[in-house]
Structures are given as C-alpha cells and as structure tokens.
Amino acid sequence: MSTLLEVVNVSKRFGGVLAVHDLDLRVDAGEILGLIGPNGAGKSTVFNLINGVYPPDAGRIVFRGADITGKPPYRVARSGLARAHQIVQPLAGLTVLENCTVGACFGRENLSLSAAREAAREVAGLVGLGGQLDLLAGQLTTAGKKRLELARALSARPHLLLLDEVLAGLNQTEIEQMIEIVRRIRERGVSILMIEHVMRVIMTLSDRIVVLNLGEKLTQGTPREVAADPEVIAAYLGDEEPDDMDERQ
C-alpha cells in the first residue's frame, strides 16, 4: 500500500504553548486513519497544519510525493486534499447544487462551470441530497448541513478527505446514516483522515488510529490495539469499553 500523506517531525507553537510537538504520522492510499485524543490534544491544529491554515514551525508535510509544507489552503485543495469542518458554514443564500458547484470549481481538476455542476449533482446524490438540489443551504436541517459540508468537500474530487468531527450534533439515526456515507466515500477510492469524539464510530470505521496527548503522539495501532493500550485508557478512554462509548465533547 502506497503512502499518500506524510507528516514528518512537525511542531507548532502558539506563544508559550507547544500545540504540536515532533509529530510523525502517515495516511496510506485507500485507508481510513482515525485521530483521537482529549480536548486540547492538538488534533484540530494538526488538521490546520496539513491543509495550510497554519505553517509549521518545524518539520515537513508531504502529499502524494510533493512537499506542501506551508502552502496556502487553496493550493493544498488544488493538490487533491479537501476538508469538511465541524462547524459548518454553507453559503446559506445559495442552493445545495450551487454550494457543491463552488467546491467542484476549486478542486484538483479545475473543472469548467458546466462540468463542476455535473460533479456537484453526482456527489449530492452520494450523500443523500440528490432530491434537495434546489433547496437553499440555509433551509437544511443540521444533519442536512453536515451532508452538504461533506458534499462540498467531495465535489473537489480529492484524493484525501479530512473529516473534522462531522458527526457532532447528530442523533443516533443520523450518525448511522453518516457512517454508511463515509464507507461509500472510501469505496470510491478516497482516503480519509478523521477526528471524531464518538468512539464507537472511530473504532468501527478506522483501519488504524493515532492517539494524541498534549500535542504528542501517545500511540498508534489498530482500533483493538489502541483500545487495549493502558496509556490510552489512562489519558482518554477511562474505564469505558470501546463498543459502549458515547460521544464526548
């Protein structure tokens, strides 16, 4: 299996706070990699470093063999790396189709407007919004906006998708539906790096998991290995069994 993304000895400091310290991780082609850790562990900072929101103070980020360290988000998106955010911010005055079209226009294939619309239609159908293309984004439910956030990112036709707590705020039925959508995305050949507090979900979906604590990698391994690791239990999982964990905020 080929390596798609490499984060090599990356560190980031904000004033006196070392948010990420000497981090190494990789995402392989076709893989779902989970990134977990307590609040303040540095997970969102890692995402911001990968997709160019912040430049690292040290280390390198390599995507598909090219160094993308410190490149701005629009350049990272053009390289085939997209992100779906926890706090969704759709273009509320535009329709579902128009929102997805925007994502397609700024993706890796530099699509024309007509081709972008077709890509948008396809992806909206994939996430279950095919019947709501003409609905204004601001009129969607919370679950619908989450799906739109996914669709807008997928419309860019990425090789790698960063999912930042896309299940936050959803009920159990909506979570189950989103799990199936994530599986379908992977079946289309898109690799996924995901942050998620719903432990049952991250344990179910991930091929491997990396655990952060205080900005450093605590451990990594399969879901079974991570769930049984005494350091992880002490730092994050507590006494709960992985299959029974509820969402932590």
The pLDDT-based confidence of 236 (bands split at 50, 70, 90) is: low
Sequential DSSP letters for the chain? --EEEEEEEEEEEETTEEEEEEEEEEEETT-EEEEE-STTSSHHHHHHHHTTSS--SEEEEEETTEE-TT--HHHHHHTTEEEE-SS----TTSBHHHHHHHHHHTSTT---HHHHHHHHHHHHHHTT-GGGTTSBGGGS-HHHHHHHHHHHHHTT--SEEEEESTTTT--HHHHHHHHHHHHHHHHTT-EEEEE-SBHHHHHHH-SEEEEEETTEEEEEE-HHHHHT-HHHIIIIITT--GGGPPB--
**Cα gap 74→77, rounded to integer Å:** 5
Q: What is the pLDDT of residue 103?
A: 92
Does residue 246 carry a pLDDT above 70? no
Does residue 22 carry a pLDDT above 60? yes
CA-based nearest residue to 153, from 90, 75, 208, 66: 90
Question: Do residues 226 and 209 lie in contact, with contact meaning Cβ atoms separated by under 8 Å?
Answer: yes
Q: What is the pLDDT of residue 169?
A: 86
* Length of the chain, in residues: 249
| Side chain identity at residue 115, one-letter code | A
pLDDT tens per residue across span 74-90: 999 999 999 999 888 89
Phi first, then psi: give them for residue 5, nearest 5 degrees: -130, 135
The pLDDT-based confidence of 38 (bands split at 50, 70, 90) is: confident
Q: 1-80+159-249 has which fold? A: Rossmann fold (3.40.50)
| Side chain identity at residue 152, one-letter code | R
pLDDT tens per residue across span 99-122: 999 999 989 998 899 999 999 999
Does residue 241 carry a pLDDT above 60? no
Q: What is the pLDDT of residue 240?
A: 45
pTM for the whole structure: 0.90
Mean pLDDT of 127-133: 95
Domain segments of the chain as ranges: 1-80+159-249, 89-157
Sequential DSSP letters for 151-179? HHHHTT--SEEEEESTTTT--HHHHHHHH
| Side chain identity at residue 181, one-letter code | I
CA-based nearest residue to 76, from 95, 99, 48, 101: 48
pLDDT tens per residue across span 141-189: 999 999 999 999 999 999 999 999 988 889 999 999 999 999 999 999 9
Mean pLDDT score of the chain: 91
**Cα gap 198→200, rounded to integer Å:** 6
Interaxial angle between packed helices 142-154 and 113-126, expressed in degrees from 0 to 180 and rounded to the nearest 10 = 130
